[in-house]
Structure 1
Amino acid sequence: MKISELPIDKQVIELLSREGLDELYPPQQHAIEAGVLEGKNLVLASPTASGKTLVAELCILQHVLEHRGKAIYLAPLRALASEKFKEFQRYSAIKKPNGDHVRAGISTGDYDSSDPWLGRYDIILCTNEKADSLLRHKAPWMSELTLVVADEVHLLTEQKRGPTLEVVLTRLTEINPNIQVLALSATVRNAEEVGSWLKAGSVTTDWRPVPLREGIYHDSQVQFRDGASRAILSGTKTPSLDIALDVLSTGGQALIFTETRRSAVEMGRKASVAVKSRLSKPEERALSTIAERILSTGEKTRLSEALATQVAGGAGFHHAGLAGIHRGIVEDAFREG
């Protein structure tokens, strides 16, 4: 299905066309066919990078531009809310029917305020906990919401965060009986059950734009589920790092997940030492520029200095203890390759 064929504002079609987006992925098409642009509630369960965010953006802009509505985007983490906020900034060039530009706002902290200033925005991004706080403080603009997008909705089943998300969605549908609910997840296994609770349809698919290969590492070798295997050079005596270096050797990028913030910093240090000798002169210059940005931006701390040192060597770490601006630099650099 072509994006130009969608019943959405021409400004949106033109902006997406300039970004090189002309055709919908299959999950996106299924969501459109399920009536998400017609105001129907939907649970969209599809793998990472299959286009769920674009579906949410199209739905949000439909509400703002066609129905003079207001949307709230719920994210489980501050980092995710900030990432989505940056993505929504590109729609600020689009004009609403009254001539004003589309505006997005974000609030993820200060649980003791109703943040009345958020009422000036068409799109509000916040964490589930912040939304819960806004509801308890009776933020007046929440009664104006016509759409709620709940990202990572599978967290409903989590003991720690699930109840908060459940309360937020329940209260929003009580305050605004006609509000549309769009729930997104890459891993929810009971989409139909969640859909039944939300009075929503469901779209579940395993389609992804990039094939996913799963394997198990043992004794310097990765054995993949499809029967193939790959030998891994044991150069660092740290299996996860050896696998990451193997990925880099083929021109790819790698993420290594650790259990604690301290172990993330230590893994970044080890990776930086291992990667540095593999860098070309242009790569060294580019990384040095990024490291200088880290040191010259925000508050200088032992953590930011350690990050800058690691980045200059071709690796780094990322966790909630980093200043938001430094996390952003790392995220942008990784996306840019």
Structure 2
Amino acid sequence: MKISELSIDKQVIELLTKEGFDELYPPQQHAIEAGVLDGKNLVLASPTASGKTLVAELCMLQHVLEHRGKALYLAPLRALASEKFKEFQRYSTIKKSNGDYIRVGISTGDYDSSDPWLGRYDIIISTNEKGDSLLRHRAPWMGELTLVVADEIHLLTEQERGPTLEVVLTRLNEINPNIQVLALSATVRNADEVASWLKAGSVTTDWRPVPLREGIYHDNQVQFRDGASREILSGTKTPSLDIALDILGTGGQALIFTETRRSAVEMGRRASVAVKSRLSKPEERALRAISNRILSTGEKTRLSEALATQVEAGAGFHHAGLAGTHRGIIEDAFREGRIKVLAATPTLCLPAGEEIFGN
């Protein structure tokens, strides 16, 4: 199905076309065929990067532009909420029928406030916990919601976070029985069960735009599930870093996931030492400029100074303890291919040629 064939405001089609969108991915088309743009509840379970967010965006824009409604996007983590807020800002150039532009807002902190100012926005992003707080404080604009998007719906089964998400979705249905629910997940295993609870349809697929090769590193070699293998030179005595340097040799980038913030910082430090000698002069100049931006933006701390030092050498780290402005700089630099190796806790969601899980 072509983007131009969608029954949605032409401003949306024009914007998506300018961004290079032409044809829907199969999971997106299945969601449209399941009636997601017609107000039907849906659980969409498909792999990472298969286009779930675009389905949510189309649905939110449909509610705002066609139904004069209001949409709430629930994310499990502040980092993810901030990322979505940044993505959705591009729709603030679209006009509503009353001549006003679409407004996108975000609230992830201060659990002791109803944030009445959020009522001015058409698309609101929050964490599950903040959504729960807004409901408990009886935020009046919650009654105006016509759509709720629940990202990472598989968290319903988690002991710590599941009950909060369940309560939020239940209360929103009680406040507005006609609210549409769109639930997204890359890993939910009981999609039909969740769909039954939400009184929703279900689209489940393993389709992905780029083939995924999974492998296990052992004894200087990556053994892939398809039977192939790849020799890895042991130059740093740190397997995760050796694998990252191997992918750099082919012109790619690597994202190394660590279990703790401290280990992310340490892995970034090690990577910066190994990557620095591989940089060209133009790359060094670009990275120096990014490093200076970090030092001149926000509060100067030992953490920000360590980050700036690593970035200047072509590596870096990312975790929730960084200032939001610094996280944004790092994410942009990695997307642009400036940072070659990035060590991060699992809160980060960015595309990379190779993702390495050290443990």
State the TM-score bracket (shorter-chain normalisation).
over 0.9
| CA displacement at 1:335 relative to structure 2 | 1.2
Q: Give 1:333's aligned residue.
A: 333
Corresponding residue SS for 2:317? coil
**Residue 46 of structure 2 aligns to which amino acid in structure 1?**
S
| CA displacement at 1:54 relative to structure 2 | 0.4
State how far apart, in whole Å, the 1-side matches of 2:219 and 2:250 are.
21
- What aligned pairs does 1:1-337 form with structure 2 within 5 A after superposition? 1-337=1-337
Corresponding residue SS for 2:74? strand
State how far apart, in whole Å, the 2-side matches of 1:157 and 1:248 are.
38
Corresponding residue SS for 1:146? strand
State the Cα deviation string for residues 3-25 of structure 1 (Å, max 9, x = none): 10010000000000111101100
State how far apart, in whole Å, the 2-side matches of 1:148 and 1:239 are.
42
State the Cα deviation string for residues 163-203 of structure 1 (Å, max 9, x = none): 11011011001111000000000111111111011000111
| CA displacement at 1:332 relative to structure 2 | 1.0
**Residue 129 of structure 1 aligns to which amino acid in structure 2?**
E
State how far apart, in whole Å, the 2-side matches of 1:149 and 1:24 are.
20
| CA displacement at 1:251 relative to structure 2 | 1.4
| CA displacement at 1:256 relative to structure 2 | 0.7
Report percent identity of matched pairs: 90
State the Cα deviation string for residues 122-181 of structure 1 (Å, max 9, x = none): 000000000000000000000000000000111111111111101101100111100000
| CA displacement at 1:47 relative to structure 2 | 0.7
State how far apart, in whole Å, the 2-side matches of 1:289 and 1:17 are.
32
State how far apart, in whole Å, the 2-side matches of 1:253 and 1:188 are.
28
State how far apart, in whole Å, the 1-side matches of 2:325 and 2:332 are.
11
Q: CA RMSD in A?
A: 0.6
**Residue 100 of structure 2 aligns to which amino acid in structure 1?**
D
| CA displacement at 1:259 relative to structure 2 | 1.3
More strand by share: 2
Structure 1 unaligned runs (5+)?
none
| CA displacement at 1:250 relative to structure 2 | 1.1
| TM-score w.r.t. length of structure 1 | 0.99
Corresponding residue SS for 1:74? strand
State the Cα deviation string for residues 216-246 of structure 1 (Å, max 9, x = none): 1100000000000000010000001111111
- Which segments of structure 1 move beyond 6 Å, counting only runs of 4 or more? none
Corresponding residue SS for 1:44? strand
**Residue 192 of structure 2 aligns to which amino acid in structure 1?**
E
| TM-score w.r.t. length of structure 2 | 0.93
